[in-house]
Amino acid sequence: MSKLKKLQETTRANVKPPPWEDVCPELETYRWRGHRRLAARTYFTKCTTCMWGCRMPVEIIIDNWNPRGKKKHRFETFCYGPRNCKFYKAGSNRKVEGRNGMVFTEEDWVDEQNVEHREPEE
């Protein structure tokens, strides 16, 4: 027999969700905030309910001098959330195949540049 007791009733209307689980803002807000790469494991374990975490398909143009040529697609995870989020963990540096077998590696400074205009808590 369990000693678990229900102490009080609550209604969902009286409970305010954490700010990161509220109604999503307009797309322009996401564009302004900028994104950082997010570890896929962190996304799936902690960020699926967060309005700032996302997993989306990304189109990769293999040859920028021929943008209508060969393209690849893959899913990537991103975080648009506060810079000081305790759950955030950067994913590995993304590698993108280029023309003639070249590989471009997106370094950490790209993420920093995307969010440098924001304060740590925003």
Report whether 83 contacts 116 (CB < 8 A): no
* The predicted structure's pLDDT at residue 16: 65
What pLDDT digit, counting tens, does each position of 79-111 carry? 999 999 999 999 999 898 888 888 989 888 999
Residues whose CB falls within 8 Å of the CB of residue 99, separated by 6 or more in sequence, listed in order: 62, 63, 64, 65
pLDDT digits (tens, 9 = 90+) for 3-31: 878 777 766 665 666 668 888 899 999 99
Phi-psi region of 40 (alpha: psi -120 to 50; beta: other; left: phi over 0): alpha
DSSP class of 87: T
Confidence of residue 113 (pLDDT cuts 50, 70, 90): very high
Using the Cα atoms of residue 24, residue 28, residue 31 and residue 34 in order, give the sign of their dihedral.
negative
- Contact (Cβ atoms closer than 8 angstroms) between residue 62 and residue 12: no
pLDDT at 56: 93
Secondary structure of 14-80 as H, E, C letters: HCCCCHHHCCCCCHHHHHHHCCEECCHHHHHHHHCCCCCEEEEEEEEECCCCCCCCCEEEEEEEEEC
**Tens digit of each residue's pLDDT (9 = 90 or more) over 41-87:** 999 999 999 999 999 999 988 887 887 888 889 999 999 999 999 99
